[in-house]
Copies of this chain bind each other. A is one copy, B any other.
Amino acid sequence: MAPRHAALRSHSDRGSASPPRWKQIQAELEEWLSDGRFTPGSRLPTEEELAQQFAVHRHTVRRAVEQLKHDELLRVEQGKGIFVREPSLSYRMGRTTKLSSAATRHGRSLRYRLISVDLVQAIKFGSPLGLPKGHPLIRLQMVRILDGRNIALSWCYYPLPRFEGIAQLIASTGSISAAMKHYGVEEINRKSARVRAVAPTTQDAKILGIERSTPMLEIIHLAIDERKIPIEFSVTRYDGRYFDILIDF
């Protein structure tokens, strides 16, 4: 009464509702990714090797990989192998580095879409930009679009009256730094940045079309011009799946 296939036995033998083998393998592979054994961009063993290691058929491994591909954790290329998916955009952060140049270096298009422009009653404000309370600010809300996909939501604050009409300039030039040039800003220098992991607000989720459970990377940053005068304060939340920061020392 021995079953023909040993592997099938293990399937039927499973005690009270253990998950299917391919799901177990999926979980195992997820652990491999999460504990750093395989870092973004690195190649996994071949399907055949994985099948041997897990003592299953190649199809079973493929089923697990398919799921991880769907979850955007892995990337598979025919003839090449299985790779750990890297974020669409790696931002090498520095004092003067611009996000847009990081995008073009990757051969990607980064655009903005303006959502709203309003004047902020800056009564309880001031602190981030180092301005006195009550100083008027213009506030832009915009979506950052990478290769046609909404990847981030930003609020940017600019002090008035210096940057009167900046919204139109950003909209027409499609670039913040280009718009800034019109106001005599030659250099945009990052003064400080705060990085956090947060959950999207309901508005974030709606505008970016993501789940509330999608982790986001929030960057709060303050920029100054060449005379060390604060020119921009912004809060940006990036979809964590497509964005990361690289820091070299």
Pairwise interchain contact A249-B189, C-beta atoms closer than 8 A: yes
Query: Given A27-B202, A215-B199, A190 and B235 touching (CB < 8 A)?
Result: no
Pairwise interchain contact A93-B247, C-beta atoms closer than 8 A: yes
Question: For chain A residues 72-86, which have a beta carbon within 8 Å of chain B?
Answer: none
Interface size class of A (residues with CB under 8 A): 35 or more
CB distance from A182 to the nearest CB of B (A): 24
| B-contact bits for A230-249, CB 8 A (1 contact / 0 none) | 00011101101001111111
Select one of B128, B193, B197 contacting A217, CB under 8 A: B197
**A127 CB contacts on chain B under 8 angstroms:** 39, 42
Pairwise interchain contact A36-B234, C-beta atoms closer than 8 A: yes
Q: Once the chains are docked, how many angstroms separate the CA of A39 from the CA of B196?
A: 12
Query: Given A192-B248, A215-B197, A249-B94, A39 and B240 touching (CB < 8 A)?
Result: no
**Other A-B pairs beyond A38-B124, A43-B124, 9, CB < 8 Å:** A27-B202, A31-B203, A191-B248, A192-B246, A194-B247, A195-B195, A197-B198, A197-B216, A197-B218
7 contacts between A and B (CB under 8 A): A34-B203, A34-B235, A34-B237, A37-B125, A38-B124, A197-B217, A197-B218
> Which residues of A come within 8 Å of B, CB atoms?
27, 30-31, 34-40, 42-45, 87, 90, 93-95, 120, 124-125, 127-128, 139, 141, 155, 157, 189-199, 201-204, 212-218, 220, 233-235, 237-238, 240, 243-249
